[in-house]
């Protein structure tokens, strides 16, 4: 791979027109690169385009030839972050309203916001809809991108660089390491296929997980189901009956399941269930990456990647946006990743040498190993701002302390009231005293 110089205007392929693809395209256009965004569907917004369809195998993702539904949104989904955190540095959802003024709006508000964003910055014009990237490989130092899908005849196109933004909430991860799971003959569903509570009416449902989807979905199902049993492998959960729903219980990890529907939890309780609903997350999946240096995925670790973005061997010509998670200012983080890539491709920012980047990656893995952190958390930001501040410094800007404060108070709100509703979250920056803001800045 050749390096870039400040004078280069590169021909760049962006894969996917979700938030990350739209941001990448905007930043690349600002740097005068020639951009094509390939989007396999006929709309932009990715995850935020609600799709009432479900997949044939209950969303378990077992059949590789199934017809894949991209979005995992459920009908009632509201953002799990307050509005100010769901925007970009110069384009904010906080000051917009598309008919849902709530602090944690419904999903359609975000989709409309993204459509306006793409219109405002001229990104729509460079999106090629119904164009699925089937293959990406390097031939003679160039990226050959194979595109097909929908009504588009399969064809190859050559690019100087590729930015991968295909999203990571489509390919389900299922908790199949539970003892007895191979005997389980009753229904199992992954939250990827959950849309509305009605199919769970009068059922005894075990929900596995403790992320936002598990919590939202279990509460929603509790309004129609006979019983809901929420099971988490986290050691922090309190085994108890819900204060709000008398047909809902929190359990520890599942110890074992049986073919006759029995489910035994770690604390010793046993129940008979009709359905197991896996809210156990997703697998990172790049079905289109072929001969692409040493990039590979191992238990949701995409590696080797320098700072979750650049494979050292191919940087900056190949880059990934949106792999990081567990952070409250994700939209801003994606935006900064996009800026970093665009500036690196313009030659305005220099990256460390290949060896230096690899050393940094190995150091990250070693630190994880020493702390006993599983590989699948390689891209977790642990709800810290260190990474986003580092990125901001790379591109010469700063992330507002106000956003960090809102993030922190939202997090505290949900920790303090695990059953608390989003609407109970009131404490915003406008309510802070100057001394509280100063105190926060010192932390």
Would you tell me which residues interact with ligand FAD (CB under 6 A)? 15-21, 38-41, 46-48, 70, 72-73, 77, 79-81, 132-133, 165-167, 169, 213, 288, 322, 330-331
Cβ–Cβ under 8 Å, residues 181 and 204:
no
Q: Minimum CB separation from ligand FAD for residue 188, in Å?
A: 19
Judged by CB, which is closer to ligand FAD: 149, or 347? 149
Judged by CB, which is closer to ligand FAD: 76, or 269? 76
Whether a cis peptide bond, with omega within 30° of 0, leads into 304 is yes
Residues whose CB falls within 8 Å of the CB of residue 64, separated by 6 or more in sequence, listed in order: none
Q: Minimum CB separation from ligand FAD for residue 66, in Å?
A: 15
Cα–Cα distance measured from residue 333 to residue 68, given in angstroms and rounded to the nearest whole number: 28
Q: Minimum CB separation from ligand FAD for residue 144, in Å?
A: 15
Judged by CB, which is closer to ligand FAD: 15, or 257? 15
Judged by CB, which is closer to ligand FAD: 4, or 378? 378
Q: Minimum CB separation from ligand FAD for residue 352, in Å?
A: 25
Q: Look at residue 194 and give its three-state secondary structure.
A: coil
Q: In what order do the strands lie in the sheet with 262-265?
A: 254-257, 262-265, 270-272
Q: Minimum CB separation from ligand FAD for residue 19, in Å?
A: 4
Q: Minimum CB separation from ligand FAD for residue 71, in Å?
A: 7
Cα–Cα distance measured from residue 147 to residue 38, given in angstroms and rounded to the nearest whole number: 8
**How many helical (H) and strand (E) elements, i.e. helices and strands, does the chain have?**
8, 21
Strand stretches in 233-316, DSSP E:
240-241, 248-251, 254-257, 262-265, 270-272, 275-278, 282-283, 296-298, 301-303
**How many alpha carbons lie under 13 Å from residue 190 in its C-beta half-sphere?**
25
Judged by CB, which is closer to ligand FAD: 18, or 261? 18
Cβ–Cβ under 8 Å, residues 179 and 257:
yes
Cα→Cα distances 421→66, 131, 140, 370, Å: 36, 40, 55, 38
Provide the β-strand partners of residue 254.
Answer: 265
Q: Minimum CB separation from ligand FAD for residue 371, in Å?
A: 25
Q: What tokens were used for 345?
A: 């491709």
Judged by CB, which is closer to ligand FAD: 128, or 256? 128
Q: Minimum CB separation from ligand FAD for residue 377, in Å?
A: 16
Judged by CB, which is closer to ligand FAD: 284, or 344? 284
Q: In what order do the strands lie in the sheet with 161-164?
A: 127-128, 34-38, 11-15, 161-164, 318-320
Judged by CB, which is closer to ligand FAD: 273, or 309? 309
Q: Minimum CB separation from ligand FAD for residue 132, in Å?
A: 4
Cβ–Cβ under 8 Å, residues 386 and 310:
no
Judged by CB, which is closer to ligand FAD: 24, or 361? 24
């Amino acid at each position: 791979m050749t390096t870039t110089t400040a004078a280069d205007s590169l021909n760049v392929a962006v894969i996917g027109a979700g938030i990350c693809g739209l941001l990448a395209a905007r930043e690349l256009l600002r740097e005068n690169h020639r951009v094509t965004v390939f989007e396999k569907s006929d709309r932009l917004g990715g995850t935020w385009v609600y799709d009432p369809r479900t997949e044939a195998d209950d969303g378990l993702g077992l059949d590789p030839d199934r017809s894949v539904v991209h979005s995992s949104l459920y009908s009632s989904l509201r953002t799990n972050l307050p509005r100010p955190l769901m925007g970009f540095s110069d384009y904010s959802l906080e000051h917009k309203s598309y008919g849902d003024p709530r602090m944690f709006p419904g999903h359609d508000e975000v989709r409309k916001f993204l459509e306006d964003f793409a219109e405002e910055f001229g990104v729509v014009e460079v999106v090629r809809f119904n164009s699925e990237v089937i293959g990406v490989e390097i031939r003679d130092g160039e990226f050959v991108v194979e595109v097909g899908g929908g009504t588009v005849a399969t064809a190859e196109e050559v690019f100087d660089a590729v930015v991968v933004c295909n999203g990571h909430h489509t390919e389900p991860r299922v908790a199949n390491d539970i003892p007895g799971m191979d005997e389980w003959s009753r229904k199992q569903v992954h939250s990827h296929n959950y849309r509305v509570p009605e199919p769970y009416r009068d059922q005894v449902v075990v929900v596995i997980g403790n992320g936002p989807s598990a919590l939202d979905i279990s509460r929603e199902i509790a309004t129609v189901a006979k019983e809901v049993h929420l099971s988490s492998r986290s050691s922090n959960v309190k085994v108890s009956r819900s204060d709000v729903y008398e047909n809902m219980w929190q359990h520890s990890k599942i110890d074992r399941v049986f073919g006759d529907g029995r489910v035994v939890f770690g604390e010793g309780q046993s129940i008979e269930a009709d359905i197991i609903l896996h809210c156990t997350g997703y697998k990172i999946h790049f079905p289109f990456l072929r001969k692409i240096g040493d990039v590979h995925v191992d238990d949701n670790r995409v590696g080797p990647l320098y700072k979750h973005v650049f494979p050292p061997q191919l940087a900056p010509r190949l880059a990934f946006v949106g792999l990081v998670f567990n952070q409250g200012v994700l939209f801003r983080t994606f935006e900064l990743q996009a800026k970093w890539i665009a500036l690196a491709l313009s030659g305005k920012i220099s990256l460390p040498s290949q060896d230096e980047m690899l050393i940094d990656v190995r150091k990250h893995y070693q630190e994880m190993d020493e702390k006993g952190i599983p590989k699948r958390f390689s891209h977790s930001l642990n709800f810290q701002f260190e990474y986003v501040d580092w990125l901001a410094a790379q591109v010469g800007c700063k992330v507002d302390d106000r956003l960090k404060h809102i993030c922190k108070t939202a997090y505290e709100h949900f920790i303090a009231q695990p059953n608390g509703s989003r609407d109970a979250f009131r404490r915003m920056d406008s309510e802070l005293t100057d001394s509280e803001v100063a105190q926060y800045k010192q932390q």
